[in-house]
Amino acid sequence: MPWPTTRRVIGTRVQRLDGNEKATGRAKYSFDINRPRMLHARILRSPHAHATIKTLDTAAAEKVAGFRAFYLIKKAGAEVFFAGDEIIAVAADTEEHADDCLRAIRVEYNVLAHQVKEADSLRSTTNTTGGAGVTNVNAGGDFTTDNFENAFAGTAATVQADYGVGVISHQCLESHGLVAEWDDKQENLTVWASTQAVPNTAEGLRVHFKMKPGEVKCITNYMGGGFGSKFGPDIQGIAAAELARTTRQAVKLMLDRAEEVTVGGIRPSAFGNVKIGGTKEGRIQAFEVDCYGTGGVSRGATVSFAILPYVYGPAVPNIKRLHRVVRTNIQTARAMRAPNHPQNSILTELAIDDLAARLNVNPMTMRLANLPPDDVAEAKTNPRGYIAQRGSIYRAEIAIIRKMCNWDRDWHVPGAQKGTIKSGMGMALHTWGGGGRGPNPTRVTINANGTVLAQSSSQDLGTAQRTLMAIIIADVLGLQPTDITVTLGDSSFGPSTPSGGSTTAPGTSPAILKAAETARDAFLTALAGRLNVQRNQLSIAPGVVVNAANNQRIPFRDACSQLGVPNVQANADWPTTKELQNSAPLREEWTTRLTNQGVGGVQIAEVKVDTETGIVTCSKFWAVQDCGLIINKLACESQVAGGVIMGLNYALYEECIFDRVTGRQVNADMEFYKLAGIADMPPIQVHMHDMPERGVIGIGEPPTIATAAAVGNAIFNAIGVRVPIAPFTPERVLAALANRRAGNP
């Protein structure tokens, strides 16, 4: 079952099927669900970054107009670990009354010492972040190559400096939360949740309520952004469902903006002292890094520096990594678009350009000299994988982007421009896995009335997953994507993999293809019986079934009407994990031909830096990206441009700022937590580097990774001074310029 070699719809630019509904506000997101007699719920949260609850008095709140029920999340005596930690949820007849109830609750706290700054927590010798059996600082996976002692001996130049990037927030526009409703007998629960994992969210609630399989249903027809932060019901989802059970009424609980920023997810910070040395030709000889970052109150699995030096690791002979995970009284970090990669990109790519400048080597030449080599051993088992051809992929993509941006004409030596406003160009590379897996059962039904229905329980986060399903099926059945009716986002259909790590397109596409082909075959077999011809006399062509017996071209709809049965239906899914383990041919087909994993990607930024105000404007941006076989070129380009814009946001604007004294985030909003508007963004030129022979690979994460490092390097190229910490704000640019004027290196 290979991908069709002639692709009529696959790989073209297809508008998303639900575009009209979304653009005119008729699409119902979970936040938009209003059920009969629905109550509204809100959560009272700790204002302290670290405390224990002394007393909790709800008497006054119970007398507030509209009050219906409480759900206690933390009892008196419990410890809270960050400002925003949940205490108690309340349901009332209106949102206004739910707010009134919150204001009437009295809580006394025993306030404890806290840490919200990584550097403070790193220095603290006592367990000031709280919790039993937890320390502020945990060693990460330190690593040193053999004989590192003399690693820097004989280098033509060595640079040592600090780099980093702070904590940022997912800022999903549709906040976390759900609407919960029980049936009359309180035996079945339905939730409309904003989630990246429809079956997982149902399962999380099922486990919480100790219910039987199938008794919880999760529906997510439209979803307003997750970026890695929405994989289960969360505390607010459980609270809503509990309150709905207590009150026997539907309950809506969606976080408000301050809550969304405070508890809806953060990306860990990363700071490191990097020492890098190279030969005069620009080959990196040694890379040493001592780094730390915080994933909030989580124990640290969410911060990983194990891929340093990023991308170029396999080409660098001497590597040393020291790595500490710092605990702080901030919400637990969640996966965020390409977890760990953007941070590692900044710690690697900025240092490389500083070394290139010291060596007087063009940064593009420097990167070409340090590309990870194609892996010969890997080529034997997965010749179409990233590892087997990574060097070749990057070389091809660099050649493309070099022409797109006119690098040879427009790049200049760092700081070479005169004048107040200086422009510069910078580049960076990235990689991501993006492989798929099952289970992702998919059903295709061809109805006698000519309609075609596609079903899965997967979710469309704005990735155009609905459209992807329709494209593949349309290609197989000779139809247009608009001919296919797609239903997804309903857990009662069956399992599906969560949409995280760019796994949805590769995880679902082969099952969709197989279901479509199986349905087509069943359709033609049934039709052959009705037409009294051999099955192999019938074939599909655009819009028609071709009967070779009489050279008749039967319009698809007419052919359906001749089926003689209400419909033909096919179900398909991935082979099981065990089947894949036991069968080399199955593994080859599903994981190296239909799908694969590992992509490259090159990005280049052009910036203008005002050396009087410190304001950085990204004036142009170029991105070259591969993702194997492209299903929808339009949606792919949207993903890449969107990833770049998210990267530009954390390059220039975004940062969670915590107040050392109160332990609270001071910008848990959208006015002081800066996000770009349309005027802030440059034109972005995207080139999809199509490699159809590789099968389907995910595209969600990669395009956001290299962006900030490319911008950082463009700023360095413009002003000849390194601004080491992202976001590269006017304050930091001016500080770097002042530092140089003061004579510091």
Interface of this chain with another protein, residues 91 to 150, rule: CB under 8 A? 94-96, 99, 102-107, 109
Q: Please report whether residue 76 would count as binding another protein according to CB under 8 A.
A: no
Cβ neighbours for 158, distance < 8 A, ≥ 6 positions apart = 152, 275, 276, 277, 278, 355
CB of 467 to another protein, least distance (A): 10
CB of 332 to another protein, least distance (A): 17
Residue in 9, 45, 204, 540 binding another protein, rule: CB under 8 A: 45
Of 539-598, which residues contact another protein (CB under 8 A)?
A: none
Residue in 10, 49, 73, 83 binding another protein, rule: CB under 8 A: 83
Residue in 50, 74, 167, 174 binding another protein, rule: CB under 8 A: 174
Closest by CA to 98, choosing from 314, 252, 228, is 252
Of 681-720, which residues contact another protein (CB under 8 A)?
A: 681, 683-686
Buried-state track 430-457, b at ≥16 Cβ within 10 A, e below 16: bbbbbbbbbbbbbbbbbbbebebbbbbb
Burial of 363 (0-12, 13-18, 19+ CB in 10 A): buried
Closer by beta carbon to another protein, 312 or else 650: 650
CB of 200 to another protein, least distance (A): 19
Size of the site for another protein (CB under 8 A): 79
Of 629-688, which residues contact another protein (CB under 8 A)?
A: 634-635, 637-639, 641-646, 649, 664, 669-671, 675-679, 681, 683-686
Closer by beta carbon to another protein, 649 or else 717: 649
Q: Are 324 and 292 in contact (CB under 8 A)?
A: yes
Cα distances (angstroms) measured from residue 29 to each of 33, 241, 635, 647, 723: 7, 18, 20, 26, 41
Closer by beta carbon to another protein, 423 or else 591: 423
Of 179-238, which residues contact another protein (CB under 8 A)?
A: 222-225, 227
CB of 277 to another protein, least distance (A): 37
Residue in 7, 12, 47, 378 binding another protein, rule: CB under 8 A: 47
Q: Are 605 and 667 in contact (CB under 8 A)?
A: no
**E strand intervals along 362-463:** 421-429, 442-447, 452-455
Closer by beta carbon to another protein, 446 or else 641: 641
Task: Report the amino acid identity of residue 186.
Answer: Q
CB of 61 to another protein, least distance (A): 10
CB of 429 to another protein, least distance (A): 20
Burial of 301 (0-12, 13-18, 19+ CB in 10 A): exposed
Stretch that binds another protein, among 89-97, 182-190, 484-492, 527-535 (CB under 8 A): 89-97
CA gap 103, 99 in Å, rounded: 6
Closest by CA to 728, choosing from 654, 667, 666, 675, is 654
CB of 446 to another protein, least distance (A): 26
CB of 68 to another protein, least distance (A): 16
Of 420-439, which residues contact another protein (CB under 8 A)?
A: none
Residue in 5, 6, 34, 744 binding another protein, rule: CB under 8 A: 34
Q: Site mask, another protein, residues 464-483, x = CB under 8 A?
A: x-------------------
Tokens 């039904």 belong to 445
Closer by beta carbon to another protein, 604 or else 646: 646
Closer by beta carbon to another protein, 96 or else 149: 96
Closer by beta carbon to another protein, 614 or else 643: 643
The DSSP symbol for 704 reads G
Closer by beta carbon to another protein, 272 or else 647: 647
**What strands, in cross-sheet order, belong to the sheet with 421-429?**
421-429, 602-610, 616-626, 684-689
CB of 679 to another protein, least distance (A): 5
Pairing of strands 266-267, 189-193: unpaired
CA gap 475, 10 in Å, rounded: 6
Cβ neighbours for 684, distance < 8 A, ≥ 6 positions apart = 621, 622, 623, 641, 644, 645
Phi and psi (nearest 5°) for 488?
Answer: -145, -175
CB of 270 to another protein, least distance (A): 22
Closer by beta carbon to another protein, 169 or else 508: 169
CA gap 591, 615 in Å, rounded: 46
Closer by beta carbon to another protein, 46 or else 729: 46
CB of 731 to another protein, least distance (A): 21
Cβ neighbours for 331, distance < 8 A, ≥ 6 positions apart = 82, 84, 262, 263, 265, 266, 296, 297
Tokens standing for residue 22: 């979304």
CA gap 158, 178 in Å, rounded: 53
CB of 27 to another protein, least distance (A): 6
Stretch that binds another protein, among 155-163, 462-470, 480-488, 535-543 (CB under 8 A): 462-470
**E strand intervals along 120-229:** 137-139, 143-144, 157-165, 168-169, 177-182, 189-193, 216-219
CA gap 61, 246 in Å, rounded: 17
Of 355-414, which residues contact another protein (CB under 8 A)?
A: none
Closest by CA to 251, choosing from 553, 492, 42, 461, is 42
Residue in 355, 429, 461, 545 binding another protein, rule: CB under 8 A: 461
Closer by beta carbon to another protein, 508 or else 592: 508
Closer by beta carbon to another protein, 70 or else 163: 70
Bond prior to 506 in cis (omega within 30° of 0): no
Closer by beta carbon to another protein, 522 or else 634: 634
CB of 26 to another protein, least distance (A): 6
Cα distances (angstroms) measured from residue 605 to each of 145, 281, 535, 573, 654: 33, 24, 56, 42, 18
CA gap 568, 522 in Å, rounded: 7
Closer by beta carbon to another protein, 105 or else 696: 105
Q: Based on C-alpha coordinates, what's the Rg of the chain?
A: 28
Of 506-535, which residues contact another protein (CB under 8 A)?
A: none
Closer by beta carbon to another protein, 195 or else 547: 195
CB of 265 to another protein, least distance (A): 12
CB of 330 to another protein, least distance (A): 14
Closer by beta carbon to another protein, 84 or else 506: 84
Q: Site mask, another protein, residues 3-32, x = CB under 8 A?
A: ------------xx-xxx-xxxxxxxx-xx
Q: Are 265 and 331 in contact (CB under 8 A)?
A: yes
Closer by beta carbon to another protein, 539 or else 662: 662
Stretch that binds another protein, among 176-184, 457-465, 483-491, 591-599 (CB under 8 A): 457-465
CB of 638 to another protein, least distance (A): 5
Of 237-296, which residues contact another protein (CB under 8 A)?
A: 256-259, 262
CB of 70 to another protein, least distance (A): 16
